[in-house]
Amino acid sequence: MQLDDLLQRYFATTDLSGVAPDTLSAGIEHCRVDLGLEEDRGKRFALWSFLHMFGSAPDLDVAFESEEDREAARNFMDLLAASEGDEAG
């Protein structure tokens, strides 16, 4: 899953600067539904990561059955937080 493809699928654009709040909300909700239906572990992780970047990801114990996947998600969150810290300083 490519970021541009996900943006296009859920928000009908790759440029979020012009997306209306209602469109953003609807796209996030659509993605949450797709996450709930997705059975492929890799795709589920990609959708969860995408939602996390929008502050809309479900809790790890809800999103992932395996501890391995939950740990990968924790690592992703740590890496993202560290990269945001690098940008601030």
| Nearest residue to 35 (alpha-carbon basis) of 23, 50, 24 | 50
Percent of the chain with pLDDT over 90: 91
pLDDT per residue over 68-87, tens digit each? 999 999 999 999 999 987 66
Residues 15-26: pLDDT tens digits? 999 999 999 999
Q: What pLDDT score was predicted for residue 88?
A: 57
Q: How many domains does the chain have?
A: 1
Question: Collapsing DSSP states into helix, strand and coil, what is residue 54?
Answer: coil
pTM for this model (two decimals) = 0.89
Q: Which domain holds residue 71?
A: 3-88
What pLDDT sits at residue 85?
77
